[in-house]
Structure 1
Amino acid sequence: MPDDPIREQNRPSPDALLENAERESRGHLKIFLGAAPGVGKTYEMLMSGRARRADGVDVVIGVVETHGRAETEALVEGFEVVPRRNVPYRGHLLDEMDIDAILARKPALVLVDELAHTNAPGSRHPKRYLDVEELLANGIDVYSTLNIQHVESLNDVVAQITRIRVRETVPDSIIDRADDIEIIDITPGDLIKRLNEGKVYLPGTAKRATQNYFSPSNLTALRELALRLTAQRVDDQLVTHMQAHAIAGPWSAGERVLVCIGDQPGASALVRYGRRQADRLRAPWAAVHVETSRDARLAEARKDKIANALRLAEQLGAEAVTLPGEDIAQEILAYAAANNYTHIIVGMPTSPRWREIFAGSVSHDLIRARTDVSVHVISASSGEETRPSAAAGTKSARRPDPGHYLWSMLYVAIALGIGTALSRFLDVRNIALVFLMAVLASAMSGGLWPALFASLMSAFVFNFFFLEPLYTLDIGDPESVVAFAFFLGVAVVASNLAGRVQRQAVTARQRAKATEGLYLFSRKLAGAGTLEDVLWATVYQIASMLKVRVVVLLPENGRIAVQAGYPPDDTLDDADIAAAHWAWEHDKPAGRGADTLPGAKRLYLPLKTARTQVGVIGLDNDKQGPVLTPAEQRLFDSLADQAALAIERIQLVADVDNARLAAEADKLRSALLTSLSHDLKTPLASILGSAGALRDYSTSLTETGRAELLATIVDEAERLNRFIANLLDMTRLESGAAAVSLTPLFVGDSVGSALRRAEKILLHHRIDLAVPPDLPMVRLDPVLFEQVLFNLLDNARKYAPAGSLISIRGWAQDAHVMLQIIDEGPGIPPDDLTRIFDSFYRVRKKDHVQAGTGLGLSICRGFVEAMGGTITATNRFDRSGAIFTLRFPTGPEPANLEGRP
């Protein structure tokens, strides 16, 4: 049945329901928003807190700045104030909100003033809004205050209005996650009046403030921004409510905004403009950067600007994407078409017009593409640096080696020699092709600039040595002028094209190297059988491919600890330990370059799979700025994902092994209980019956009857003793506590001792002993070997009928002594031959009665293998019966055997 559009529209939106569910699981955030300082945000926050406390809510003050205002200080009285934490900084103690004390106190609501505040260096988070996020994540409600100039996406607009750029900003994602925004609004006239009365700043600074930031025009514009932001937020909440409750209404037509980030100045301004445009359209948005081969030669400062712009886009709620490619416009259009983006925002070119003619312009290429996508070209005038500085603009990360220019001179000299030799046979225009080969060789070996250098040199050399008049820079023939101009033009174009091919080849080699590294890494992980192998392969591969220092931390006894590092480094300072634990506990990055504990030496990133978090990985290098560039971040993500899956695989294998061992233990436990119920109950019943008969009928029993009853008690007691001895022997074997003391001995002596010990249980069987006395000596444990023989004889008499023959054969073979116990019982079923030595496994007799405990043969195998021998079981070929064969290597003969009887 086809979908009904109206029915679909009346269904609640899953995304809206999920958003509501996530809000319910977190603490609630209410922001008191003002257009400027002094409107009364803190006052209103304290009044609301008093009202909540009057309703019985547990309210505390995390941090409130009264700025010496008497009415604000009066409102603070009566609240519980969590003491602030002293942070040492450059010889001074700075007071900051103590987030750990608040978490330990666990109030229902905490009042936190100045949401955009920057924490002192050394704090857990560099910004107070990150402290608030942690409180919210722990289920604590927060009231906080914010001025409109601190909203990140409005930073450029505020700077244009007030001519002052605010450095302390709050990402728009915090505004989006706020449950309530209350606008604290007063007219510009009332605010200026409060300012003049000294209720905002000191009287001496009030007049200067009204002439600058607090001018009526500025306050009016800021007030409009605050009202618009609040209205937009109210509208978003209404839309979410309508979607969650399936309330029909007019929805937007599916607009999507794509912001293009390059190395040009003003990238951050483009991101902020894109956020505002997305807000107006109520549309999702993304920021994209196309990484070309040219990016590899950019200065580190420009690379950092690109990374910072992408990071800012993520903070403002966008998806940050980096695409590989050479044609920037085509890559952007292809990505926009594949992901249904309807608006593309790109910066206005800042390069000279002549350069656009030769090198092209991304914005012009996007406009000329004639697609259905709207292209917005935005000026970069944002208060940022509009032209690259000399250091950033002229220096590149990979400036051509001066040696390449020497090679260019050599190529031109070789071309001159070849041209001179061929000048007697070829026309001068053909000789020009020889110099083009020199230009192409320079481009392929050194890139664009050495090729351009070779082009100019070739042009002058060609003119000087081959164009009339010779050996001057003058050109007499008009045709030669045209030829020279065409030669120079072709040489420049060829050098440009060859240089581009060379850059693409370098990029292709780099990507092939990265792909090969990923492939080899996956092969290593696939072949790793232990956790140690996986961790070593991980740290080595990441360190070698990203040129960083790596440590991997995994959970151990409820905490995480360093398990591997490259270069080997198991020590972390207190800041790194705190960052690693925070990343593990909160499943977010921490440490260097992150929003949490940025003072740590390393950047710590969660190591996780779709199923669970498996550990934390720390990265560090010697360069300034972010630890990883966007391209390196993508490569790291691929490596980390593979490593996390491999670690999870090892852990799952360990879990499976533990489960199997637990299942086997349960099986053994069940078999043991079954054996105990049978092998204890039967002899105990016989002992109790015989003892009861002796007690009740002692006067009427004959001497023969009394002797038979006593014999029964002794036999069954010995049977119990053997059973308990077998249990103890098996326990020793399973725990590895069976001590083996090997000494040279003759097998025949131990066979005789075992037969004497088993004399009572073999009364009804015949014994045929064929063990030569001259067998070589064997290094055995006498006690264990005698127990093996006794258990084999006991097993034979259980299954062989009374009166049957039990044979013992011994011989020497290939530096080994062989010993066989042969019975005339029913033999061993073929299906049971492989399991006959398993613990608690018993072969059923023909009458379906289980004989024995199933421990004797298992103990035999354990003792024999502990003494360096082997034991096997087979069936007889001449008749029914079983054969148990023992095989031991012979030991050295003692020097003196004369005393042996």
Structure 2
Amino acid sequence: MNEERRANPDELLADIQDEAKGKLTVFLGAAAGVGKTYAMLETARERLSEGINLLAGWVEPHVRPETMALLEGIPKVDPKDTEYHGRILKEMDLDEILVRHPEIVLVDELAHTNVPGSRHLKRYQDVEEILAAGINVYTTVNIQHIESFNDIVAKITGVRVRETIPDAFIENARIQLIDIPTEALIQRLEEGKIYVPNQAKHALDKFFRLGNINALRELSMRFAAQRVDRQMESYMRVHGIAGPWPASERVMVCISASPFGEQLIRMGKRIAEGMKAELLVVYIETPSNLLKTEKQKDQLTKSLHLAEELDGEIISLSGNDIVEELLEVAQKRNVTQIIIGKSGKLSLRERFSGSIVERVLRQSQNISVHVIPGNIQKTKQGIESKKIPVGKANANMVILYITTFALLAMITLIAWEWRSDLGLVNIAMLYLLPVLLSAGRYGKRAGVITSLLAIIAYDFFTVPPVLTFTVADLRYLISFTMFILVGLYLGNLSTRLRIQLINSRKRESQTASLYSLSREITAVSDLDTVLESVVKKVSDIIKGQVVILVPEKKGQLALRACSNSEVIFEENERAVATWVFENNQSAGKGTDTLGGAEGFYLPLVSEQGICGVLGVQLKSTERYLLPEKRRLVDAFASLTALAITRISLVETAREAQLLNESEKLRTALLNSISHDLRTPLATMIGAVTSLLEDDQLFDETSRKELLQTIKIGAMRMNRLVNNLLDMARLESDMLKLNKEWCELDEIVKKAIKHFDDGFFDKRDIVCKSSKKHLLVNVDFILIKQVLINLLDNAIKYSKPDSQVLITVRNNEKQVEVSVRDWGTQIPTEDLEHIFDKFYRVRSPRQISGTGLGLAISKGIVELHGGTIHAENSSVSEGVTISFTIPLAEKPTGIPAEMGD
């Protein structure tokens, strides 16, 4: 292999794109109190002294004098107040940071959960937005808040940390490890420099024990070292540098579909633990080592499962040359130790070209190679497994023999008949034709057999002396050798191409399934539809039964989707799924946990937690899922969890919207009760009480005035209740139109008459119509209600004693009705909102109402197929609200003068 590697163009492009984003610097510590915030502030002051524009977005000094002293003089963004359950809480002002756009911003406590109602759920999501804006970020985090260490920290300390950040978020961050000796940290805790005395004592008894701190320090150091190692790998790939660089140890174990692979993996794990190194387990599939039997597939899956249990990273690739692929992986991943097994017996090909082990030793360069000898006895079952299965393969060979004999016979007849005209060279080319066809169609074995048959026919019928196998001229042996080499080479080539085609089709099918599912989960909002699609796609790929279980409101798992409705989901399988859901671990067939189950179950995990369980029932002959199937099932599980979370969030958002609407309605009702209901109710009670207490005190005129007051109050209350009921019917689609043919003038007159009963201030309402007796097909009562609402709005918001103008215009297609007042104009930003529920324009005068009248009018007009809009007068003060109604064709039987 070449020592120099070309830089990867995709990685170069990704590196260039990352340059446009801000850089993240993480001050990492093993626990609280190691000095992360202090170190971040010290670095910030150094940057300030260099003249860099820097802001403190959020810094938590924890009332520590040294930290607070460092914070002085650093420009900061004041936190914003957020109300939550009646309390005012402080949060980082993300918008202010983006507006001020410094070069560097300080954001303490990266794993913090924001107050509900904030733009993002987590603070790291705020930081993600800041980085996307091209702003560099300095932040702090403890090792227990890293998602991948959550379970490990829980086992070490007995405390489950709830606030975590995904590893991918800080994958490319610059890590600055902040560490102090364990004894110094405990001393700081005892002196009250981290927590108050009562909290400090509790922390020392629970979390800050000597062993816990040492373990957390080791985790933080290892994490920082791994991140630096990843960055070095990225640098080597981008700059095309061939590895390895012996900056850190990395062990790679090379396995095949052999029981010997488990021994190699265990040995690799021991070596990796001794070196504190990362373990890689690599399997390379080539045309020469295809998995032909179920036993081989089972063994490979078992080995890879063991590697997964031992925390090894599994790399499965396909290629043409095992050695080239292995060494390419080793260079890309900066491997320093290779562990490879050596079988006891070499094949004929390996004796001439060299074994895999010998080639790895020759080409490994600076990588140390450990060769482990194997001594695996072949059992009778193992020998039988190598026999060619009867069936399709034998049928193909029969077809091959018949086709080959027929073609050779035809070519022999042609060569015999025209041998003097064709010549020996052209005849030899003709005999190459069946070799090419059989090698290209059936592979190496068929190519060699056909070439041998072609040599026999060519020698016997063509090469002098004819009709004998004697070769007078030894130069013909070169032609015979070429026949065999052509068959061998083309057979190898066709086998490789066929394998690559099969793998490509398999990957294409898997990618298409994932792409199809990803499209569905973004387009479909029905959970059952998405889950049914998932189980169908997974079932088609693994050729088995698939189930998905989702927790109900009571927390118990319920079968939500199944690939076969006739399958009965037994209680013992449900118990396994429940264990998986409660423990967030895979279990069932093929695992060491509850391995007696018929299915394999894995949790559906999202950022919101575990949202369900995916179960796969394997074939009776399969002990484990094959690696590629397992990766695909994991991908489907991740997409399913994402879909469940998305739909859950949509439902939560819908519920929040409904709650918000209910809150608005409650507020509107309270406002109405406090003013629009209480005022007329108090007036009515006062008038009725006066009449009841002393009826003789009032003369006839006074009594009529009191009764009129009661009537007006009752009408106001009735109007308010009707508005609320109309809005409820509109939103529930219960409001139905009762259309009839009626004159629009009559509707206008009835609406105006409504205001002549002393219900409102006396106003001069003028009506102008372009056509008398205009006939429209509408709901008389509802359109009248629209006009009443518009006149009501005009009277409320216009000047006292001003005029209200109603204008009716029509053409062949529609009629337009406008209501214009001479009051204060509506602000431009409010024009598009005045038809929203409960929306009321700000006014210097105290105006009663719920803000439902115009919203109801809009709903009624739209039910009629019309439109409604508002606009300010362009020549003087005042507002015009207009609505249109489509004109229907006048039916027969209506007098001609109506509508003319």
Separation of aligned partners in 2, 1:273 and 1:411: 55
Separation of aligned partners in 1, 2:614 and 2:221: 44
Residues 473-512 of structure 1 aligned to structure 2 (within 5 Å): 473-512=469-508
Separation of aligned partners in 2, 1:769 and 1:279: 93
Q: TM-score, normalised by structure 1?
A: 0.64
1:298 equivalent in alignment to 2:292:
yes
Residue 156 of structure 2 is matched in structure 1 by: 23
- The secondary structure found in structure 1 opposite 2:382 is coil
Residue 862 of structure 1 is matched in structure 2 by: 859
Shift of 1:244: 7.7
Unaligned ranges ≥5, structure 1: 28-235
Residue 764 of structure 2 is matched in structure 1 by: 766
Separation of aligned partners in 1, 2:774 and 2:868: 19
Separation of aligned partners in 2, 1:396 and 1:355: 27
Letter in 1 for 2:365: T
Shift of 1:460: 1.7
1:626 equivalent in alignment to 2:623:
yes
Any conservation in 1 of the 2:156–2:215 contact (CA below 8 Å)? no
Residue 600 of structure 2 is matched in structure 1 by: 603
Letter in 2 for 1:308: K
1:269 equivalent in alignment to 2:267:
no
Residues 344-493 of structure 1 aligned to structure 2 (within 5 Å): 344-357=338-351, 361-381=355-375, 385=379, 388-392=382-386, 394-395=388-389, 399=393, 401-402=396-397, 403-409=399-405, 412=408, 424=420, 428-429=424-425, 431-493=427-489
Residue 114 of structure 2 is matched in structure 1 by: none
Shift of 1:299: 1.0
Any conservation in 2 of the 1:776–1:817 contact (CA below 8 Å)? no
Alignment CA distance shift 1:19-1:613 (3 Å): closer
Alignment CA distance shift 1:272-1:701 (3 Å): same
Any conservation in 2 of the 1:776–1:893 contact (CA below 8 Å)? no
Residue 833 of structure 1 is matched in structure 2 by: 831
Separation of aligned partners in 1, 2:311 and 2:795: 82
What do residues 258-298 of structure 1 show as CA deviations (whole Å, max 9, x unaligned)? 33221235333333444455566665534322223455551
Separation of aligned partners in 2, 1:576 and 1:897: 78
Separation of aligned partners in 1, 2:698 and 2:624: 97
Separation of aligned partners in 2, 1:422 and 1:649: 77
Alignment CA distance shift 1:256-1:763 (3 Å): closer
More deviation, 299-308/565-574: 565-574
Letter in 2 for 1:469: P
- The secondary structure found in structure 2 opposite 1:840 is coil
Residues 182-261 of structure 1 aligned to structure 2 (within 5 Å): 243=218, 255-261=249-255
- The secondary structure found in structure 2 opposite 1:388 is helix
Letter in 2 for 1:388: G
Residue 190 of structure 1 is matched in structure 2 by: none
Alignment CA distance shift 1:509-1:684 (3 Å): closer
Shift of 1:569: 6.0
Shift of 1:574: 2.5
Alignment CA distance shift 1:398-1:785 (3 Å): same
Residue 89 of structure 2 is matched in structure 1 by: none
Separation of aligned partners in 2, 1:525 and 1:440: 49
More deviation, 524-533/786-795: 524-533
Residue 327 of structure 1 is matched in structure 2 by: 321
Letter in 2 for 1:23: I
What do residues 335-382 of structure 1 show as CA deviations (whole Å, max 9, x unaligned)? 334444443332222544424236753222222224333333333336
Separation of aligned partners in 2, 1:373 and 1:462: 52
Letter in 2 for 1:455: S
Separation of aligned partners in 2, 1:742 and 1:755: 22
Letter in 2 for 1:832: D
Separation of aligned partners in 1, 2:847 and 2:384: 94
Separation of aligned partners in 2, 1:570 and 1:561: 15
- The secondary structure found in structure 2 opposite 1:472 is coil
Letter in 1 for 2:157: E
Any conservation in 1 of the 2:861–2:883 contact (CA below 8 Å)? no
- The secondary structure found in structure 2 opposite 1:333 is helix
Separation of aligned partners in 2, 1:798 and 1:617: 62
Any conservation in 2 of the 1:256–1:283 contact (CA below 8 Å)? yes
Shift of 1:23: 3.0
- Counterpart of 1:560 (choices 557, 562, 565) is 557
Q: How many residues are paired up?
A: 679
What do residues 729-770 of structure 1 show as CA deviations (whole Å, max 9, x unaligned)? 33443455x453625352555555544444313672334457
Shift of 1:307: 0.9
Separation of aligned partners in 2, 1:245 and 1:355: 50
Shift of 1:625: 1.0
Separation of aligned partners in 2, 1:359 and 1:610: 53
Separation of aligned partners in 2, 1:804 and 1:417: 115
Separation of aligned partners in 2, 1:585 and 1:638: 21
- Percent identity of the aligned residues? 33
Residue 164 of structure 1 is matched in structure 2 by: none
Q: CA RMSD in A?
A: 4.8
Letter in 2 for 1:496: N
Any conservation in 2 of the 1:603–1:618 contact (CA below 8 Å)? yes
Residue 311 of structure 1 is matched in structure 2 by: 305
1:742 equivalent in alignment to 2:738:
yes
What do residues 865-899 of structure 1 show as CA deviations (whole Å, max 9, x unaligned)? 4566554445567874524325156498597999x
Any conservation in 1 of the 2:805–2:820 contact (CA below 8 Å)? yes
Shift of 1:856: 1.4
Alignment CA distance shift 1:685-1:547 (3 Å): same
- The secondary structure found in structure 1 opposite 2:481 is helix
Separation of aligned partners in 2, 1:246 and 1:487: 63
What do residues 397-424 of structure 1 show as CA deviations (whole Å, max 9, x unaligned)? 9847333454444565566577668855
Unaligned ranges ≥5, structure 2: 1-24, 36-141, 161-210, 223-245
- Counterpart of 2:637 (choices 636, 640, 654) is 640
Alignment CA distance shift 1:18-1:580 (3 Å): closer
Any conservation in 2 of the 1:408–1:442 contact (CA below 8 Å)? yes
Letter in 2 for 1:837: F
Larger Rg computed on CA atoms: 1
Residue 574 of structure 1 is matched in structure 2 by: 571
Residue 229 of structure 1 is matched in structure 2 by: none
Letter in 2 for 1:792: L
Alignment CA distance shift 1:730-1:253 (3 Å): closer
Q: TM-score, normalised by structure 2?
A: 0.64
Shift of 1:237: 12
Letter in 1 for 2:833: R
1:718 equivalent in alignment to 2:715:
yes
Alignment CA distance shift 1:485-1:238 (3 Å): farther
Separation of aligned partners in 2, 1:273 and 1:658: 56
- The secondary structure found in structure 1 opposite 2:611 is strand
Any conservation in 2 of the 1:876–1:883 contact (CA below 8 Å)? no
